[in-house]
Amino acid sequence: MPVNTNLWKKGRGKLGFMAPLLGAWEATAETPMGPVKCTRVFEKTLSDNYIELVARWDFGGKAYVEQAIFGVNREGVVTFWSFTNDGKNSTGIATDGTDVHPEAIAFEAEMPAGTARMVYTPDDEVADKMVWVVESKTKKGWNRFMTHSYRRVEIE
């Protein structure tokens, strides 16, 4: 079945490609730590010059929280700066993810364990759903180790 390549409407400006992510998204999944409910909220901030992400992973009372800012760095590259409640942080840049989906929104970062990539794609079957994957770079290519299917929800 061919992939629909016109699911996500882009906005204007350097961050316009992220417009389809704006709003709140929710997923549930099974993990080695047990079931998790993850909420991702993307909102424009600071006079619409940046996009803020607050991601909350709820493991039945224990929460892992990430706050990230997406913007354009001094060199003109779309960048993210991420901070988590366990004291960790990372920085990465927008990258090509079209090997995953023609409309992929992807970011790559150097992590302590190596190069990682997160990719957001529209769900080709269901409107107002998206897929989020995390991959690590290997000598043979990308190794996917996490996949979540999100549905759009109202911000509480």
> Domain boundaries in the chain?
16-153
Q: What is the CA radius of gyration of the chain?
A: 15
Mean pLDDT of 56-61: 92
Q: Could you tell me if 3 and 101 are in contact, meaning their C-beta atoms sit under 8 angstroms apart?
A: yes
What pLDDT shows up at residue 1?
Answer: 41
Residue with tokens 């990372």: 90
Decide the pairing of beta strands 34-45 and 89-95. unpaired
State the pTM of this model.
Answer: 0.90
The average pLDDT across 92-117 equals: 94
Structure tokens at 93: 């840049």
Q: What is the spatial distance between Cα 149 and Cα 42, in angstroms, rounded to a whole number?
A: 16
**Confidence bin at 2 (pLDDT 50/70/90):** very low
Given CATH 2.40.128.20, say whether it is the number of domain 16-153: yes
Q: What is the pLDDT of residue 156?
A: 63
The mean per-residue pLDDT over the stretch 125-129 comes to: 86
pLDDT at 52: 98
